């Protein structure tokens, strides 16, 4: 009897902090992984090719979530997609910097996943999409019914949170209307050792604190998460 086909998944933004650990985990679990990168030849992505089982099971695709056509080859043939590619910038004050790319990128990956008949799409949202609601009762647990207040976030110049709220709502609405199996995850700031050679955003928070910098970002007040705990949830969302 022929062995079952190797499960194949796509990870967008594969060179990022969380995504790199996810790629490593998926490879260790026997998955063939398609990782999208803006520039696979960039030295900052070289760590991916050195992961265990990468030579035979990791395939790098030059793609941009803002360009639908570049995503199609990466998602084709995959039974699952992890959408992690999104702008994450400290002190974001311009809508065009983060909101527009996040929304368009999410729509593109939703449409590509539908066209490729993906079995499940995991969208990495953020606790920022649910935690900033000044009108939510303090003694009531925040659950799936709680969303951050967009106007409150806009007034505070927090376009990252606005982007995460909007993108997650679009993903869930698209799933309901088109029958796509979508799971959203809302992690807080994630810390841990780095696989990539560049410092990621959450680690920059620690650097800013050590230097005594003031961070005007609502995210800083949130709970923090160790990277292994987050990838445990990622794995069980496949």
For the annotated catalytic residues, the residue numbers are 164
10: tokens are 């796509």
Residue whose pair of structure tokens reads 């949170």 in the numeric block: 161
Q: What is the dihedral of CA 11, 167, 156, 215, to 10 degrees?
A: 0
Residue 123 carries which DSSP code? Answer: E
Q: Give bridge partners of residue 182 from the DSSP assignment.
A: 121
Read out DSSP for 219-236? GGGS-EEEHHHHHHHHHT
The span from the CA of 46 to the CA of 157, in Å, is: 35
From 167, 145, 195, 182, select the one nearest 23 (Cα to Cα).
195
3-class DSSP state for residue 98? helix
The span from the CA of 33 to the CA of 45, in Å, is: 15
CB 20 within 8 A of CB 231: no
The span from the CA of 16 to the CA of 187, in Å, is: 15
């Amino acid at each position: 009897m022929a062995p079952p086909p190797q499960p194949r998944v796509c990870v967008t933004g594969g060179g990022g902090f969380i995504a790199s650990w996810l790629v490593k985990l998926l490879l260790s679990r026997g998955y063939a992984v398609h990782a999208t990168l803006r520039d696979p030849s960039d030295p900052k992505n070289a760590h991916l090719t050195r992961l265990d089982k990468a030579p035979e099971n990791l395939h790098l695709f030059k793609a941009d979530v803002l360009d639908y056509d570049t995503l199609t080859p990466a998602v084709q043939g995959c039974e699952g997609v992890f959408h992690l590619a999104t702008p994450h910038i400290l002190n974001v004050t311009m809508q065009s910097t983060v909101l527009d790319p996040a929304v368009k990128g999410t729509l593109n990956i939703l449409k590509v996943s539908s066209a490729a008949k993906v079995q499940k799409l995991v969208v990495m949202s953020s606790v920022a999409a649910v935690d900033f609601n000044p009108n939510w009762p303090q003694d009531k647990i925040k659950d799936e019914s709680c969303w951050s207040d967009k106007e409150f976030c806009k007034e505070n110049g927090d376009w990252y949170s606005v982007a995460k709220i909007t993108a997650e709502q679009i993903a869930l609405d698209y799933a309901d209307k088109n029958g796509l199996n979508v799971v959203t995850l809302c992690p807080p700031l994630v810390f841990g050792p780095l696989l990539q050679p560049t410092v990621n955003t959450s680690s920059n928070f620690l650097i800013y604190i050590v230097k005594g910098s003031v961070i005007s970002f609502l995210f800083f007040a949130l709970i923090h998460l160790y990277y292994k705990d987050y990838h445990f949830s990622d794995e069980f969302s496949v």
